Structure 1
Amino acid sequence: MSSEFLKDFSRIIENIIVDYIDVDFTLWLSWLLMPLLVTFILPVVILLLLYITAAIFYIYKLHRSRLREAYGKDWKNAARSVGAAMWDAHGYIYYGYEVVGLENIPMDEPVLFIYYHGAVPIDLYYFIAKIVLLNSKVIHSVVDKFLLKVPGFAIICDVMKLIPGTIKTCSAILQDGNMLAISPGGVYEAQFGNSYYQLQWKKRMGFAKVALDAKVKIVPIFTKNLREAFRTVSWGRRMWLRIYAATRFPFAPIYGGFPVKLKTFVGEPIPYDSNLTPELLTAKVAKALEDLIAQHQQIPGSITRALLERIYDPSSTKDHHS
């Protein structure tokens, strides 16, 4: 009897462990790992959106004859409008995205936009979408060559006019009457910038040579809380620097996707001045962009504060009346 009692008792204990303790452990483990899962999975949402965009563009490319009849336009224009509408809606819902200072953009002439590069340039996607929807104009953008090698991204680069431009090709784009966006910091600034928002231009002045050659205005733009939406990991900085120096590929892990308040500020246009050298123009533009950052971004950036600004942004009234 005692042997059977022990067996029954052990079976009851086993059932309790299986039915309750394992469940509690699973819940505890999921609670423990949830922040890690959220911070590293959310960037995948942006990647998914990019591939959805690529899919839309392929649909328009493959069925352009039928769609051209429906829209009465080139298939790329129609595809851009649909893609822009999707990105604009995502920006408004997820980040409360808005633009302040659109009146500073000379829409009837070529212009060179210079912007601060976040860990993920999500703000540029939304800004381009906004311009497409407002004025049916596409902003050409200079991107790193590695982006062209990402599977599925070639059609996005083609439709959205993303190029690894040289000074000559960039100048030609502007001389043809187009808008162009360049981040002098590029991938380096994306990978190794931080919540203090210092410019990481490393004495690059190619954009200044482009502006002087094309004789166009430069418009600085900056997006508040950009570094709070996505960040690169702070550990292993020296290792990531060595890898980047050797490969020119952005290997530093990115985390985030936090639904913070994103607001793009468009600065006053900097007119063409033939008396300026590339060095002087670079310094002038850097100062204008740094002034935008100092005026609108609290340093250092805070994810918590940026999240709270989705509910209440104390600078909102000032921004809309400035």
Structure 2
Amino acid sequence: MSWFSQILENWISYPYLEEYLTSVVHPWWLLMLLILLYSPLICSLLFCWALSFLLHIYRKMNNQQESDVSKIWEKPRKLVAQVVHIFGKIWNGYEVIGMEHLPKGPGVIIFYHSVTTTEYNFLVAKLFKQQRQCYSVIDHALYRIPGLRTFCDVIGLKDFSKDECVEILKKGHFLGLAPGGGREANFSNDYNIMWGKRTGFARIALEAKVPIIPIFTQNCCEIFRNIGKTRLTRWLYEKTRLLYLPIYGGFPVKLRTYIGEPIPYDPNITATELAEKDFFSPPCAPEFAPEGPSKATPPVGDSVSTTKTAIENLRDKYQKRPGSILRALSERFDKHYKTN
């Protein structure tokens, strides 16, 4: 800074420039540095803005106006997916277990909403790499942040309506959403699911006649954490739905996404039952069982769990509670854990 101020002083002949920079500019630079270091949300927005700007230039160079349907966006999607995938692999040792459970056709992917959904982004990037398009439902406030529209359209992020969601599924794509939304991201404690009475995702799956795929990512709440969970902030969120508590973190904890067995489409099940309650399917009668071992389908079990129960089962099986950042960090180097 002294060298820089000396150049400016010689250029504009302002003898008190260095003193001014020391007393005013230096603290501001320090403040900006602290914001960048301790506010991952701002860093993420800056990264998305930069990508959106580059994609906007790319669209202008190729004279494309409809960024969400044009095939010219396949290469940018693959590039972004590759960058995100490499970052997840290096920084969080990201793994996906249960890819065989994903159907070849469309499906609704339901996940627990952590503070930043970083782990879900890694899964979407992996699907992009495998030529599987996954659209994601986000809050309308996020979609309307100035400067991010192009980035969101290219990646498939939008506050889709119910009809748009059904149309996406009928085209053969995946649709990802977190029923807990901002409430779960802000105020969930120790992986508790906070869905309330939301059953919209189940109605979409029933109307599109597609399965629901429950997923859960181990240690997803240990990457970032937030502060400020009080009655006042909860009240403000319920009134405005715009509140996002301050966060800290970015820890290189171990992340494993577990994909559960799909919950098949059943026209006899209501949206409320599919979202919240347990229902049971009768065992297959022997006389209707397929002949020959090669044609037999492995049984899923007598009890067919609903979405919320399925995610809770994945959580209880693979997540140690209460969560611990140190334990999640140590799992990056635990050979016995890797073997299991």
Q: TM-score range by the shorter chain?
A: 0.7 to 0.9
1:42–1:245 distance in 2 versus 1, CA, 3 Å: closer
- Note the alpha carbon deviations across 1:39-94, whole angstroms, 9 max, x for none: 7244544334323432442243232369xxxxxx9321111011111111111111
* 2: CA distance, partners of 1:92 / 1:56: 24
How far residue 313 of structure 1 moved from its aligned partner, in angstroms, is 5.8
Residue in structure 1 matched with residue 275 of structure 2 by the alignment: 282
Q: Residue 11 of structure 1 aligns with which residue?
A: none
1:114-263 aligned at under 5 Å gives the runs 114-134=110-130, 136-194=131-189, 196-233=190-227, 235-263=228-256
Q: Partners in 1 of 2:39 and 2:270 — Cα distance? A: 45
Question: Does the CA contact (< 8 Å) of 1:118 and 1:190 recur in 2?
Answer: yes
Structure 1 residues 58, 38: CA separation in 2 closer, same or farther (over 3 Å shift)? Answer: closer
Q: Which whole-Å deviations, capped at 9, do the CAs of 1:262-295 have from their partners, x for residues lacking one?
A: 1111111111111111111002110000001011
One-letter identity of the residue aligned with 1:145 = H
Distance 1:47 1:287 in 2: 34
The structure with the largest helix share of the pair is 1
Give per-residue Cα distances to partners, 1:8-38, cap 9 Å, x unaligned: xxxxxxxxxxxxxxxxxxxxxx9xxxxx889
Residue deviations 1:131-170 (CA, integer Å, cap 9, x gap)? 1112x22201110001112232211211011121232221
Q: Quick check: 1:111 aligned with 2:114?
A: no
Q: After the TM superposition, which of the residue ranges 75-84 and 49-58 deviates more from structure 2?
A: 49-58
CA distance, structure 1, for counterparts of residue 51 and residue 327 of structure 2:
31
Residues 59-138 of structure 1 aligned to structure 2 (within 5 Å): 59-64=57-62, 74-106=71-103, 108-134=104-130, 136-138=131-133
User: C-alpha distance in 1, partners of 2:36/2:325?
Assistant: 14
Which of 330, 336, 339 is the aligned partner of 1:308? Answer: 330
State whether structure 2 residue 327 is matched by structure 1 residue 317.
no
| Amino acid in the other structure paired with 2:38 | F
Return closer, same or farther for 1:42/1:163 CA change in 2, 3 Å cut-off. closer
1:23-34 correspondence to structure 2 within 5 Å: none
TM-aligned CA distance change 1:163 to 1:291, over 3 Å: same
The amino acid across from 2:240 in the alignment is T
Alpha-carbon separation, structure 2, partners of 1:241 and 1:265: 30
Cα–Cα, structure 1 residues 75 and 289, in superposed 2: closer, same or farther, change >3 Å? same
* Structure 1 runs, 4 residues or longer, greater than 3 Å off: 36-39, 41-49
CA contact (8 A) 2:170 2:208 kept: yes
Partner-residue secondary structure (3-state), 1:315: helix
Amino acid paired to 1:142: V
- Structure-2 separation of matches of 1:46 and 1:309: 26
Q: Does the 8 A contact of 1:191 with 1:232 survive in 2?
A: yes
Distance in 2 between residues matched to 1:291 and 1:97, nearest whole Å? 21
Is the partner of 1:140 in helix, strand or coil? strand
Q: CA RMSD in A?
A: 2.2
- Aligned residue pairs total 275
Equivalent pair of 1:240/1:251 in contact (CA under 8 Å): no
Which structure 2 residue ranges, 5 or more long, are not aligned? 1-29, 65-69, 277-305
Q: How far apart, CA to CA, are the structure 2 residues paired with 1:313 and 1:303?
A: 18
Aligned position for 1:6: none
Q: Is the 8 A contact 2:36 2:42 kept in 1?
A: no
Aligned twin of 2:56: 58
Question: What is the rounded CA distance, in whole Å, between the counterparts of 2:48 and 2:255 in structure 1?
Answer: 19
2:44 to 19, 43, 46: 46
Q: 1:250: how far off? A: 2.8
* CA deviation string 1:216-274 (max 9, x = no partner): 011111111111001111x4521211211121113311111111111111111111111
3-state SS of 1:249 partner = coil
Q: 1:43 to 1:167 in 2, by over 3 A?
A: closer
What amino acid is aligned across from residue 308 of structure 1 in structure 2?
S
C-alpha deviation, 1:312, in angstroms: 1.5
Change (3 A) 1:314 1:51: farther
- Unpaired segments ≥5 residues, structure 1: 1-29, 31-35, 67-72
* Mapped contact 1:43–1:256 kept (Cα < 8 A): no
Please report how far the alpha carbon of residue 191 of structure 1 lies from its aligned counterpart in structure 2 after TM superposition. Answer: 0.9
